[in-house]
Structure 1
Amino acid sequence: MARSSERVAAGTPLLQVRDVAVEFRTVDGTVHAVEGVDLDLAAGETLAIVGESGSGKSTTAMAVIGLLPGNGRVTKGSILFEGEDLVGAPESVMRGIRGGSIGLVPQDPMSNLNPVAKIGTQVAETLLAHGLATRRDVDRKVVETLAAAGLPDAAERAKQYPHEFSGGMRQRALIAIGLACNPKLLIADEPTSALDVTVQRTILDQLQRMTGELGTALMLITHDLGLAAERASRVVVMHRGRIVEQGPARQILEDPQEPYTQALVRAAPSVAAVRLRPEAFRKPTSENRVTDAAASVSEPAAVSEPAAVSEPAVVSERAAVERAAVEPAAAPDYIVEVENLTKVFKIRGRKEEFTAVNDVSFAIPRGETVAIVGESGSGKTTTARMLLKVVDPTSGVIRFDGQDVAALKGKQLDSFRQRVQPIFQDPYSSLNPMFSIERLIIEPLDFYKRGSSKERSARVRQLLDDVALPQSMLRRYPSELSGGQRQRVAIARALALSPDLIVCDEPVSALDVLVQDQILRLLSDLQSEYGLSYLFISHDLAVVRLISDYVCVMKDGVLVEAATSEEIFTNPRDPYTRRLLASIPGNELDIAV
């Protein structure tokens, strides 16, 4: 099929999607995933398609590139790329277009990179398949391609396997593969959703730079309207397979017309982070106990910026939380006190050691939320695992309700296990797929022999009511639930034993913004109702601002700053904290919704 751009009239969009419908045939019947989609994308333009899971945004993108699953097909409409209709094009033709004219950066690098092939080999396959390299010069071009994608030491990285890369490095490798053939259109499907905010900004900057230099049009698939408005010139909003609104990005963000778009804007953490904290998430709090306890503390030399603080009531450096954790007068106010916590791991096969957590101190006030934020590798999850007594600390003390956690044994340890419960990141892997929802929730009650069989069943039904799930869910299995419903089940299970403290490890990072919003509000409501304390682990400061009372910022295993949530967001003291805040998508937008 000829794809000569000379045949396209001047001003004609590079991509024209007209009245496209996509359906999937399943055992339960036909699913109409996309209906009547119309959109244009000009050469060199960035267009964002926004919507929650199931909205049809990824299906639309896969229809453009001809990568629908075997049970999916375009049933009507046209997809014109450089004036030629791709609907019904032979697979031999589409193979030439993919990679060569239309590139793809998929969402999950670990499932889209071959785990048993070196990174360089995977880039070379693309270059060789499209005739952009020969066997003689392919190694050199692989290194050039990886270097252009921002990978340091590209020659050495080309010899490594995906598991030896960080998440950001794997995503760069996918960008390198997607742009290896200088395509006219690049489809980026949630390219940064699983990455830290600083890595996310770096990847998006790199993607924007490379597409700008190549003159490549970019179709960005995302669920975050703030990110879309920051990166795209136009936004298309999809809901239940249809386009509900589209237009200039800032116009859509500042003046959304459709109720669904308005809901997306309200729910987007990156947009909320540039506004005042929503009243729905505020709860009555006592005096500023963490910072007041540190009012008389001078700042140690280890603090990054030892400038004098004019108002001691808002001291936000590390010493504030350290003193708060050990202040005798304040001890009754804290459910958890952590002092000088350190964890050193021995590296298998090597003599050197790795310090994951280094001399960290903080405290968790009763009935409130302390968040630990930082990039991957900052030590936040290791800290949470030590608090859960899953990992033993190398040194330091963790006190729960005044008791040294390391010394707990027998009945005291059983009591601790019941009073401290976790909620994990991925609702798809944290629930046993072979258990019904009823069995999943009742399992901790059975294990600790709480009440009679009748009382346990009644407790399960009450918990479903607490997390706003219907009783009809009891006989269903995790595979039959959405991500948000699964996370609600995980929360119900965590609540089963009536804990005092819940450790939330990235509990909403795998969810769409609307579902994130629902789960965060649910956690806030449950805290108000039951007086729960939360340790909230996250790399997403936008989410943290919505739910936390206090924030601890970690970097390379060290606590670099700690203060109230409002203080961290309005007056960050440490350069690293400021860099994290600056990396929030849409942080420079002036939005009032």
Structure 2
Amino acid sequence: MSEIPRPLLEIRNLAVDFRTTYGNVSAVQDASLSVAEGQTLAIVGESGSGKSTTAMAAIGLLPRNGRVSSGSILFDGEELVGMPEHRLRRIRGRQIGLVPQDPMSNLNPVTRIGTQVAETLLVHGMATSRNVDVKVVEALEAAGLPDAAERAKQYPHEFSGGMRQRALIAIGMACRPRLLIADEPTSALDVTVQRTILDQIGRMTEELGTAVLLITHDLGLAAERAEQLVVMHRGKVVETGPAAQLLEDPQHPYTRALVKAAPSVAAVRLQPGAFAASPDERARHAEEAFAAKADSASTAEDTGNIVELRDLTKAYKIRGRSEDFYAARNITLDVPRGRTVAIVGESGSGKTTTARMLLKLIEPTSGSMTFDGMDVANLSKEQLRDFRQRVQPVFQDPYSSLNPMFTVGRIVEEPLSTYKRGDSRARAARVRELMDQVALPHSMLRRYPSELSGGQRQRVAIARALALKPELLVCDEPVSALDVLVQAQILKLLADLQAELGLSYLFISHDLAVVRLISDYVCVMKDGELVEAASSEEVFTNPRHPYTRRLLASIPGNELEIYDEDPDIAS
């Protein structure tokens, strides 16, 4: 009989409270878990379930209004609850590494990436002033950053979202800690880079005996990478057990709901009416819209394209280089009216650059863009104001895209006020309607972004984008920060809204399972160029380009057997 490994991190009966203006809020209640040396344990659950709060409590990084009200946290047999701050600092970073969720707010925008990695190495005695530059390059290479020596000289704003996340991973792994707490470590990464990072974490676990506490909403990733799963719901641990067993045969109703909501590349395109924020009110409208869409399918060619991009190119001058860097080169694609076109590819492939050109946030170097027949590059001031109302963005990062000084209510109302839509009473009613659509309670209208989870912030961003009832939504990773239940809810909502309002979507994502659910057409980008473009069905069932096949093969958990109680529900 094999000996049970000794826990490296042991949490017993943990309770965490937050002091708010509305009284104490219990965020975690009676939570228990343990991670052994060399083991990977994943905590899964929806946004606000207490996953990140439990991890932050373990290393004493709760916000000032948070406290451990009861319970025990042992690291290598030593009690962390109540430990003096100066002793905790010696453990954090050196023995317990952290990869936080948000790459923008956790990187200093005015300090070079290499300097930030070097700081961690020097503070914890993992490098000297003589060899620190070499150690920095090694850490960045281990995190999957190409041209690490050059990247070390750059600033965070010169990195894509995925590259910033990799820089955070390099910082968290630099000291080769005994325990790595990874809070959504690959949520901003495409599947190929995601696999590189997770393989690196796996090698560290195997070679150094490092334990990993993985916090994720990606069930496929959790099932593939973790030996043990802990499922949290409303601050409580509702189920725990071996990962494969738990996902194949979940016992708790909440776990079953999580598994059934997980997107899959084997799924079919979402149809309108699959979800309704208030079923009795919206189901009839969705059904009618679907019937109308089916009736008009034969005349789809007559509806034309709402967006046409022709040979769109964006080049940047790079300091110290004679040749330009092409972020996007000769991009030609159409967005048919009332349809969804998805752009997929690795971080830095040019997906977001293409979207930002269409939104007129950056100017193209060459090429043309038309929206509803208008030349986007030469809009008058009045036309540009109209364009801004008809085309709305949902950005990738819900932390930096929301004004931290505004309440949620003011954030969602801001587009309505800016464009003078209705009186104050009508705007307030519209804000409440939007909160219902994205499944947020009206009580959140008085809160600030800092009081919300990452997934809740992204839902606020989506509500704001829908406020003006636009014709085109440019969605840049709109559900990457959401857990699978809310993700499924938002994707089905987008399908309903598209059918009801005739919306068109340009949908950018590194999550191919999500793209499978939402898209009619898929464009695959690599190194700034389009390498494949076809219908969603063709790309996923018969990919032609080797790069597309590699993307599909890299999806975590793609070959796992997943519980499916209802064959009509995609696992």
Q: Which band: TM-score by shorter chain? A: 0.7 to 0.9
For the structure 1 residues 391 and 514, does the alpha-carbon distance in structure 2 shift closer, same or farther, using more than 3 Å as the test? same
> 1:123 & 1:453 partners in 2: Cα distance?
49
Residue of 332, 335, 340 corresponding to 2:302: 332
Say if 2:268 and 2:516, in contact at 8 Å, map to a contact too: no
Higher RCO by CA contacts (8 Å cutoff, separation 6 or greater):
2
Deviation digits for residues 503-553 of structure 1, max 9, x if unmatched?
223322233332222221211111121222222222222211111111112
SS, match of residue 112 in structure 1: coil
Say if 1:281 and 1:547, in contact at 8 Å, map to a contact too: no
For the structure 1 residues 248 and 198, does the alpha-carbon distance in structure 2 shift closer, same or farther, using more than 3 Å as the test? same
> 1:400 & 1:140 partners in 2: Cα distance?
49
For the structure 1 residues 258 and 480, does the alpha-carbon distance in structure 2 shift closer, same or farther, using more than 3 Å as the test? same
Matched, 1:191 2:185: yes
Matched, 1:425 2:425: no
Say if 1:162 and 1:170, in contact at 8 Å, map to a contact too: yes
- CA drift at 1:229: 0.5
1:403-414 paired onto structure 2 within 5 Å? 403-406=374-377, 408-409=379-380
Matched, 1:226 2:197: no
For the structure 1 residues 61 and 557, does the alpha-carbon distance in structure 2 shift closer, same or farther, using more than 3 Å as the test? same
Residue 78 of structure 2 is matched in structure 1 by: 84
- CA drift at 1:78: 2.4
Moved more, 436-445 or 229-238: 436-445
> 2:449 & 2:62 partners in 1: Cα distance?
25
Residue 350 of structure 2 is matched in structure 1 by: 379
SS, match of residue 69 in structure 1: coil
Q: How many residues align?
A: 545
SS, match of residue 510 in structure 1: coil
For the structure 1 residues 281 and 233, does the alpha-carbon distance in structure 2 shift closer, same or farther, using more than 3 Å as the test? farther
- CA drift at 1:51: 1.8
- CA drift at 1:248: 0.8
- CA drift at 1:46: 0.8
- CA drift at 1:151: 5.0
Residue 313 of structure 1 is matched in structure 2 by: none
Moved more, 454-463 or 239-248: 454-463
- CA drift at 1:111: 3.3
Residue 302 of structure 1 is matched in structure 2 by: none
Say if 1:281 and 1:546, in contact at 8 Å, map to a contact too: no
Q: TM-score, normalised by structure 2?
A: 0.81
- CA drift at 1:347: 2.0
For the structure 1 residues 213 and 122, does the alpha-carbon distance in structure 2 shift closer, same or farther, using more than 3 Å as the test? same
Residue of 78, 94, 97 corresponding to 1:100: 94
- CA drift at 1:199: 1.9
> 1:215 & 1:51 partners in 2: Cα distance?
27
Say if 1:438 and 1:460, in contact at 8 Å, map to a contact too: yes
> 2:266 & 2:201 partners in 1: Cα distance?
24
1:21-420 paired onto structure 2 within 5 Å? 21-133=15-127, 141-142=135-136, 144-151=138-145, 161-163=155-157, 167-269=161-263, 272-277=264-269, 332-347=302-317, 352-406=323-377, 408-409=379-380, 415-420=386-391
Say if 2:47 and 2:453, in contact at 8 Å, map to a contact too: no
> 1:120 & 1:483 partners in 2: Cα distance?
27
Say if 2:96 and 2:177, in contact at 8 Å, map to a contact too: yes
Residue of 527, 532, 538 corresponding to 2:498: 527
Residue of 545, 551, 569 corresponding to 1:574: 545
SS, match of residue 526 in structure 1: helix
Say if 2:100 and 2:183, in contact at 8 Å, map to a contact too: yes
Alignment-mate amino acid for residue 585 of structure 1: P
Deviation digits for residues 316-343 of structure 1, max 9, x if unmatched?
xxxxxxxxxxxxx976232325253322
- CA drift at 1:363: 2.3
For the structure 1 residues 163 and 435, does the alpha-carbon distance in structure 2 shift closer, same or farther, using more than 3 Å as the test? closer
For the structure 1 residues 179 and 437, does the alpha-carbon distance in structure 2 shift closer, same or farther, using more than 3 Å as the test? closer
Deviation digits for residues 67-100 of structure 1, max 9, x if unmatched?
3334433333322333333333333433333333
Say if 2:398 and 2:461, in contact at 8 Å, map to a contact too: yes
Moved more, 121-130 or 87-96: 121-130
Identity of aligned residues (%): 71
For the structure 1 residues 154 and 422, does the alpha-carbon distance in structure 2 shift closer, same or farther, using more than 3 Å as the test? closer
Deviation digits for residues 82-127 of structure 1, max 9, x if unmatched?
3333333333433333333322222234433445555555445444
Residue 304 of structure 1 is matched in structure 2 by: none
For the structure 1 residues 109 and 402, does the alpha-carbon distance in structure 2 shift closer, same or farther, using more than 3 Å as the test? closer
Alignment-mate amino acid for residue 550 of structure 2: R
Alignment-mate amino acid for residue 210 of structure 1: M
- CA drift at 1:240: 1.7
Q: Which runs of 5+ in 2 are unaligned?
A: 275-289, 565-571
SS, match of residue 111 in structure 1: coil
Give the RMSD, CA atoms, in angstroms. 3.8
> 1:383 & 1:135 partners in 2: Cα distance?
41
> 1:83 & 1:561 partners in 2: Cα distance?
54
Residue 282 of structure 2 is matched in structure 1 by: none
Q: Which runs of 5+ in 1 are unaligned?
A: 1-8, 293-328
Matched, 1:561 2:553: no
> 1:475 & 1:408 partners in 2: Cα distance?
38
SS, match of residue 89 in structure 2: helix
- CA drift at 1:234: 0.7
For the structure 1 residues 561 and 19, does the alpha-carbon distance in structure 2 shift closer, same or farther, using more than 3 Å as the test? same
